[in-house]
Each structure stands twice: as C-alpha cells, then as structure tokens.
C-alpha cells in the first residue's frame, strides 16, 4: 500500500490523540498536552502517513522523532489497527532512515516493550539490535529494551582532526599526521570544511578584529560545532581587564616568582603553543597558556607594588616576531605530536569529557579506583576522557562535558570551572546553580520549608540581631552550622547555653548568619544518590566510633564511620520519595541526599552536590552500572543540549 508522508501540524491533534488510544496501552499513551508539545518542540519532528481513498487523503499512521546531533531517536511509530500488516510501518521506518541520512546522523535509537516479541522482531528485521535492558521502563513490571541501528557514517570518517587556519599556508612547513594547514578564505568558503565533524580549529588568521577574516573563522567554526581556539567569547574576554586580573589571580604566585629578578617595570612574554622562546619563562608560559586560550599570545606585564598583567593579546602569525617563526613551527610540531591530538583519538570517540580532580585532596569525593571506573564507563559511552586540574582552566572549551570530582565550593575554582563551562555550552555535573544551592544551608532550609519537607527544627541566627530568646524553644543539645559547611567541617554540637554562646561567638567571625538545629541522634543516616531526578543508589552511613557525626575530624585513627550500601528496594519508600523530591528542588543533576528516619517520620538533613562515589562503597550494589548510568546521563545531556539554546544566567 503506497503512502505519502508529511510533517504534522496542530490540525492533526485529534487524529494523533485517537491514534495513541487505539495503538498503545494506557500506561504508554502520550497525553494531548504532550502531543501538542511534540508538534512545537525544536528538537522533535512529528510526521503523518496518509493513503489515498475516494474522499481524498486519509491519515493512517504517525511517528515522532527526537533529532539529536549524532542520533535520531524514534519515540513512537503507530499505525491504525485496521491498516497494520500492510507494510505501512516499514515505510515509516524507511522514512526515518532517510531522514537520518539527510541530516548526516550515524545512528537511530528507540525503546520498545521487552514483552512485545512481535514488535522486537519487526525492529530486528529492519537492522536494529538490542543494546540495553531497561527494568520497569514503562511501569513496574513493564521492562523496556533499547535498540540501536548504525548507519553508514556519511563521510564522517576523516583523516584530519586538527586544522590550522592562516592567511597563507605557504608560510607553514608543517607536515604532521592529522594536522592540515588551510587558508582563512578556504576554511570559510569551501564546502568540505562545512561538513567536517569532531575537528579542532586553531585560528591564526591575520586579524581577529570584529568582522575581519579571523573573526569570521572563529564565528563560523562555532556555528559548525568545531572546537575553535580562540573562540569569539575568548576574543571578547581579552578586552576585559577585570576578567584578566581575576583569572591571573590563580597564578599570581608563579608570576611574582618568575619576574622578581626582572629589571624595570615592564616586560612582555610571548607564548607559542604553550611555550616561550626564553627558557627562564617556560614554566610561566605553560601556566599562562592554560589560563588564556589562544595558540599565540603576547602578555604584557607592568610592575607597581607587584607584577600585574596589563594586557593579553592573541597574535596572528603576521604579528609574530619574524625571528620567532622557526620556533613557532617547532613548538607547533611538538604540540600536535602529543597523544591527546593524535588522529585515532578522534576516529574512535564521539565526545570529549573532562573530569576535574585534585590529586592533593585528602578526602576527595571519589577514590582512585572509582576514577578509573568512571573513565572506563565514559569510554564505553563514546567519550575520550581526560583528567584535568585547576591549572587547566583554559582547556575547557576543548571538551563537550565537565564532570567535577573534587570537593566543590562557591568561593574556589570549582565553581569558576562550572560557571565558565556552562557558559561555553558544555554539559556540566556539578552545574553552577547546584553548587550555589547546595553550598548554602540557609537556602536549603528555606527551600525545604517552603515545600513542606520535614527537617530538624531550625533557627537562622543573625550576627547583628541575635537574641537568646530565638533559641529558647529549642532543646539541648543543639547543632550549629556555618551556611557553607561541608564534610562535617564548620559544624559543632553544643550541650548548654554557655557552650552555645562560645560557639556562636567563634562562628559569627566567619559568617553573618549561623544555622541552629535540634540534635536528632541516630545510629545511621540514609544517603540516597539521585540522578536526573530519579534514585540511583542507597547507603546507610553510620556514625564514627564514639562520635555524633559520620566524620570525626578530631580523631587520629577512625575518622569515618562504616557504610552499608543496599538495594533501592530495601529502602523505605518514604525515604526514597522524600530524597527525590528534595533533590528536585535543587535541579536535575547528581546529588546525595542525607536523611534520618525516626518514629516513621523522614527528615532531610541536607542535600549535597558532588556526592561521594567511592569504589567499594557506593558501587557495591550496582558495581560498574553505577558509573555507566552517570556517564550515560552525560551523553544524553550533550545530545539534547546540542538542540536546545542555553541561557547563561542561572
């Protein structure tokens, strides 16, 4: 039976709603509101299949697709029952394949009911393969199966991974595998560069000024989803003296140490692909390159009371001292010969993931074995993974996602990394608003109270207006917390009014507001890991030996209590529901919600971004699946975000 296919409109709403009811069980049906949203969504496409009859064209089938940059996801295909078995579904499926090819998408994914053997056979005969079982995907007892069809890569395979853009390639004698030197004009106008994927562009055009050729190279590279250095945002940021001073503060000690023997009050350092031609500046040049993102840089310093960065200028090859050209070529060869830029690295991976860690941290949120497991899971999901530290700030735009695995704080580099990465369009866990909200217990207390989630009875005390009457109704002992306390630091227990006064006097020196809570003794706290607003893992964290907290920083031996990871099915349902609700008030990232259950009542103690995930503790139940679930979430976020505009303000 021959069909014609067209894009659906809101005029089809009644038909689409009827089709849902005729073709799917109730638990699988989309509501009228959801259908309407699909018709207007920027990342979805709804099509209708029609047949010709005596009265004209009659709609008999429909399909809904999610269009991601790498994947076309079939959300549903439905054919009216009386027209099933007439190859209409096959024609709709063929349409999806052609749609994917036209958009240079290399794979198609879908989810199907595992119990529907006839449907699974239909998709398998079309070339789909089951890749992942999805327990209780549709409802409890109704499992799903994720299926994938890989298409030809439509020319995506490419031998060039890095492109240097200059005005005249003849000036570059650079023969390195995986690196091509092209002219600015060719990169902008030639169709072959418009369709490339997963390439890095190093823009060394003669001018970066607004509406000049170099400006358009960076602008078009961003539009093509090429990783461009420097990008348009970076070019703009070089004109902000306050931002430059702010960033340079991270390496102020290195600046003063390197330049302390310099005579005079002015000096310029030239940085070419992270190196300096002057050996005495090479360490500082490396630091500066990682701070200010451009292949060729001139950094001007001026000395007043101490050395300060006066100006940062990205250089084109034309503006490089001719005596330095040979060194620029040498440094470029060394730079691109590194493993991270080799061609196989782009051939085998879809996305780039940066995992921010602090090798010096004594109690990191993930131990060494867990970090290895994250990397293994990430590679399984198609990530090229690199562990970065606070010195690698300028590399952020080279990645598609940032996963923070060091203790976060609003006033340190972790928030700065998160904020900058989000502004650059990366997917980020922990995102900046989660760090802000979870770092402040006053925000949490108010947020939980407004949404009628039980917490220990709490009073917020102000330094300027503290009155003893404010705590008169609370029973001792009490727990005092700094608003930004973490890992039990900045948290004190007091047993008498006198101890309360002493502790408040000390804590008010650190913060204008202090939280006072009733003490709720328990053998253990629940920690529910939540990801994408769904429970991920469950632990019982027991109190440290002879101590009232899980962590005892004053102990020289047993600093931490035991932990017991359990199946989610073993956790009281009320604990799970409360944890998910509380985490959802923060966002949709990765959280650890600490709760107590006393007398059948559940109390939220706090919500943590950046929760501990250690090998041998939180992964005891799920094992490798725990890491894979988190990495899979990052992939999903990338593919969705590529089709949704982000807002920088959070």
Contact by Cβ (8 Å): 427, 638: yes
Q: Verify that 99 and 18 share a domain, yes or no.
A: yes
Q: Is 620 among the domain residues?
A: yes
Q: Which token pair is 171? A: 């000036």
Spatial neighbors of 234 by CB under 8 A, at least 6 apart, are: 292, 293, 294, 314, 397
Residue 72: strand pairing partners: 67, 108
Among 150, 184, 199, residue at a domain's last position: 150
Secondary structure of residue 567 in the 3-state scheme: coil
Lowest mean pLDDT segment, chosen from 1-10, 392-401, 426-435: 392-401
Task: Note the pLDDT tens digit of each residue in 426-448.
Answer: 899 999 889 988 887 777 888 88
Contact by Cβ (8 Å): 441, 579: no
| Alpha-carbon gap, residue 517 to 461, rounded angstroms | 11
Secondary structure of residue 401 in the 3-state scheme: strand
Spatial neighbors of 212 by CB under 8 A, at least 6 apart, are: 205, 206
Q: Which token pair is 441? A: 């217990």
Q: Verify that 601 and 632 share a domain, yes or no.
A: yes
Give me the pLDDT at residue 267, please.
92
| Alpha-carbon gap, residue 180 to 125, rounded angstroms | 42
CA atoms lying within 13 Å on the CB side of residue 595: 33
pLDDT at 550 over 60: no
Lowest mean pLDDT segment, chosen from 208-217, 270-279, 324-333: 208-217
Choose the most confident range, by mean pLDDT, from 154-158, 170-174, 240-244, 268-272: 268-272
Question: Of residues 151 and 397, which shows the higher confidence score?
Answer: 151
Among 282, 313, 339, residue at a domain's last position: 339
Any idea what the CATH number is for the domain that residue 609 is in? 3.30.470.20
Q: Verify that 146 and 251 share a domain, yes or no.
A: no
CA distances to 327, 443, 454, 583, 596 from 606, rounded to whole Å, are: 55, 11, 11, 10, 10
| Alpha-carbon gap, residue 543 to 136, rounded angstroms | 34
Q: Is 52 among the domain residues?
A: yes
Give me the pLDDT at residue 152, please.
59
Predicted TM-score of the model (pTM): 0.51
Q: Which token pair is 405? A: 């695995």
Q: Verify that 243 and 125 share a domain, yes or no.
A: no
**Burial environment of residue 209 by CB neighbours within 10 A (0 to 12, 13 to 18, 19 or more):** exposed
| Alpha-carbon gap, residue 537 to 570, rounded angstroms | 11
From start to end of 315-411, where are the E strands? 351-356, 383-388, 401-404
Nearest Cα neighbor of 594 from 640, 646, 642, 549 is 549
From start to end of 510-616, where are the E strands? 513-518, 524-531, 534-542, 563-566, 590-598, 601-609
Burial 463-482 (b: 16+ CB within 10 A, else e): eeebeeeebeebeeebbbbb
Any idea what the CATH number is for the domain that residue 289 is in? 3.30.470
Q: Verify that 38 and 87 share a domain, yes or no.
A: yes
Instruction: Give a three-class secondary structure readout of 471-510.
Output: HCCCCCCEEEEEEEEECCEEEEEECCHHHHHHHHHHHCCC
Give DSSP secondary structure letters for 267-306: EEEEEETTB-SSGGGHHHHHHHHHHS--SEEEEEEEESSS
Nearest Cα neighbor of 374 from 610, 613, 568 is 613
Give me the pLDDT at residue 294, please.
78
Q: What is the mean pLDDT of the chain?
A: 82
Mean pLDDT within 477-486:
73
Secondary structure of residue 406 in the 3-state scheme: coil
Mean pLDDT within 104-120:
90
Q: Is 496 among the domain residues?
A: yes
Give DSSP secondary structure letters for 74-89: EEEEEE-GGGTTSSHH
From start to end of 151-290, where are the E strands? 162-166, 179-183, 200-203, 227-229, 266-272
- Work out the pLDDT band at 169, boundaries 50, 70, 90: confident
**What is the percentage of the chain residues whose pLDDT exceeds 70?**
84
| Alpha-carbon gap, residue 611 to 535, rounded angstroms | 13
Q: Is 60 among the domain residues?
A: yes
- Work out the pLDDT band at 342, boundaries 50, 70, 90: very low
**List of long-range contacts for 228-232, beta carbons under 8 Å, 24+ apart:** 228/200, 228/201, 228/203, 228/397, 229/200, 229/201, 229/202, 229/203, 229/293, 229/294, 229/295, 229/397, 229/398, 230/203, 230/293, 230/294, 230/295, 230/314, 231/293, 231/397, 231/424
Mean pLDDT within 291-296:
78
Give me the pLDDT at residue 491, please.
78
| Alpha-carbon gap, residue 182 to 170, rounded angstroms | 9
| Alpha-carbon gap, residue 611 to 593, rounded angstroms | 9
Give me the pLDDT at residue 155, please.
40
Any idea what the CATH number is for the domain that residue 83 is in? 3.40.630.30
CA atoms lying within 13 Å on the CB side of residue 632: 13
pLDDT at 153 over 60: no
Q: Is 344 among the domain residues?
A: no
Give me the pLDDT at residue 344, please.
37
Give me the pLDDT at residue 468, please.
62
Q: Verify that 508 and 559 share a domain, yes or no.
A: no
Distance of CA 213 to the CA centre of its chain: 32
Nearest Cα neighbor of 314 from 420, 252, 228 is 228
CA atoms lying within 13 Å on the CB side of residue 228: 25
Query: Tokens 């004009």 appear where?
Result: 185
- Work out the pLDDT band at 531, boundaries 50, 70, 90: very high
Cα radius of gyration rounded to whole Å, the chain: 29
Interstrand relation of 129-139 and 107-113 (parallel, antiparallel or unpaired): unpaired
Among 494, 518, 542, residue at a domain's last position: 518
- Work out the pLDDT band at 465, boundaries 50, 70, 90: low
- What total of structural domains would you count in the chain? 4
Choose the most confident range, by mean pLDDT, from 129-143, 346-360, 533-547: 129-143
What is the four-CA torsion angle of 286, 289, 295, 300, rounded to 10 degrees? -100
Q: Which token pair is 379? A: 């590679």
Q: Is 360 among the domain residues?
A: no
Q: Which token pair is 454? A: 């039980």
Q: Is 10 among the domain residues?
A: yes
Lowest mean pLDDT segment, chosen from 212-216, 528-532, 609-613: 212-216
Q: Which token pair is 7? A: 């894009």
Residue 166: strand pairing partners: 183
Task: Note the pLDDT tens digit of each residue in 552-563.
Answer: 445 454 455 588
Q: Verify that 87 and 174 share a domain, yes or no.
A: no
Q: Verify that 511 and 552 share a domain, yes or no.
A: no
Question: Of residues 120 and 518, which shows the higher confidence score?
Answer: 120
Q: Verify that 309 and 192 share a domain, yes or no.
A: yes
Q: Verify that 101 and 174 share a domain, yes or no.
A: no
- Work out the pLDDT band at 157, boundaries 50, 70, 90: very low
| Phi, psi (degrees; rounded to nearest 5) at 552 | -120, 95
Secondary structure of residue 554 in the 3-state scheme: coil
pLDDT at 19 over 50: yes
Which domain, by its residues, includes 208? 162-339
Q: Verify that 186 and 327 share a domain, yes or no.
A: yes
CA atoms lying within 13 Å on the CB side of residue 141: 1
Q: Verify that 274 and 254 share a domain, yes or no.
A: yes
Q: Is 441 among the domain residues?
A: no
Question: What DSSP designation does 376 have?
Answer: H
Any idea what the CATH number is for the domain that residue 513 is in? 3.30.1490.20
Helices (H), 461-613: 497-507, 573-584
- Work out the pLDDT band at 516, boundaries 50, 70, 90: confident
């Amino acid at each position: 039976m021959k069909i014609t296919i067209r894009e659906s409109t809101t005029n089809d709403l009644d038909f689409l709603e009827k089709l849902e009811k005729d073709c799917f069980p109730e638990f699988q049906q989309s509501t009228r509101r959801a259908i309407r949203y699909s018709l207007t969504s920027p990342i979805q496409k709804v099509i209708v299949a029609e047949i010709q009859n005596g009265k004209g064209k009659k709609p008999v089938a429909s399909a809904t697709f999610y269009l991601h940059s790498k994947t076309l996801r079939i959300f549903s295909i439905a054919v009216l029952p009386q027209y099933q078995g007439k190859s209409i579904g096959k024609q709709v499926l063929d349409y999806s394949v052609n749609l994917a090819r036209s958009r240079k998408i290399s794979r198609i994914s879908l989810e199907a009911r595992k119990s529907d053997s006839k449907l699974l056979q239909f998709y398998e005969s079309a070339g789909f393969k089951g890749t992942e079982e999805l327990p209780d995907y549709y409802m409890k007892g109704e499992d799903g199966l994720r299926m994938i069809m890989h298409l030809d890569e439509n020319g995506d395979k490419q031998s060039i991974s890095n492109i240097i853009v200059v005005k005249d390639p003849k000036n570059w004698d650079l023969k390195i595998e995986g690196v091509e030197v092209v002219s600015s004009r060719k990169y902008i106008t030639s169709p072959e560069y418009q369709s490339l994927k997963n390439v890095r562009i190093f823009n060394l055009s003669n001018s970066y000024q607004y509406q000049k050729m170099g400006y358009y190279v960076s602008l078009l590279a961003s539009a093509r989803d090429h990783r461009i250095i420097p990008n348009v945002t970076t070019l703009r940021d070089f004109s902000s003296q306050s931002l430059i001073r702010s960033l340079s503060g991270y390496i102020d000690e290195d600046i003063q140490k390197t330049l302390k023997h310099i005579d005079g009050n002015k000096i310029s350092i030239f940085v070419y692909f992270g190196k300096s031609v002057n050996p005495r500046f090479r360490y500082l040049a490396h630091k500066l390159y990682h701070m200010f993102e451009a292949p060729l840089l001139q950094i001007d310093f001026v000395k007043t009371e101490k050395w300060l960065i006066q100006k940062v200028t990205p250089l084109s090859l034309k503006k490089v001292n001719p005596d330095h050209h040979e060194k620029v070529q040498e440094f470029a060869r060394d730079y691109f010969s590194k493993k991270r830029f080799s061609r196989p690295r782009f051939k085998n991976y879809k996305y780039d993931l940066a995992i921010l860690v602090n090798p010096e941290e004594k109690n990191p949120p993930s131990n060494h074995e867990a970090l290895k497991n994250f990397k293994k899971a990430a590679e399984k999901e198609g990530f090229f993974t690199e562990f970065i530290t606070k010195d690698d700030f300028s590399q952020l735009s080279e990645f598609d996602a940032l996963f923070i695995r060091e203790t976060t704080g609003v006033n340190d580099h972790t928030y700065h990394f998160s904020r900058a990465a989000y502004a650059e369009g990366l997917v980020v866990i922990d995102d900046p608003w989660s760090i802000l909200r979870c770092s402040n217990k006053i925000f949490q207390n108010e947020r939980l109270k407004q949404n009628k989630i039980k917490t220990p009875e709490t009073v917020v005390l102000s330094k300027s207006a503290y009155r003893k009457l404010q705590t008169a109704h609370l029973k001792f002992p009490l727990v005092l917390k700094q608003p930004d306390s973490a890992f039990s630091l900045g948290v004190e227990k007091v047993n008498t009014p006198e101890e309360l006064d002493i502790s408040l006097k000390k804590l008010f020196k650190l913060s204008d507001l202090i939280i006072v809570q009733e003490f709720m003794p328990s053998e253990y706290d629940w920690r529910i890991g939540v990801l994408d607003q769904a429970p991920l893992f469950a632990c019982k964290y027991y109190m440290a030996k002879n101590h009232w907290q899980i962590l005892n920083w004053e102990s020289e031996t047993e600093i931490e209590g035991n932990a017991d990871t359990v199946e989610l099915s073993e956790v009281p349902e009320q604990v799970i529901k409360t944890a998910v609700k509380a985490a959802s008030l923060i966002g949709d990232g990765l959280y650890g919600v600490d709760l107590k259950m006393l007398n059948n009542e559940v109390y939220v103690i706090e919500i943590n971004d950046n929760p501990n995930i250690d090998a041998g503790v939180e992964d005891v139940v799920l094992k490798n699946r725990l890491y894979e679930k988190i990495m899979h979430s990052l992939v999903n976020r990338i593919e969705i975000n590529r089709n949704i505009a982000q807002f920088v303000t959070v």
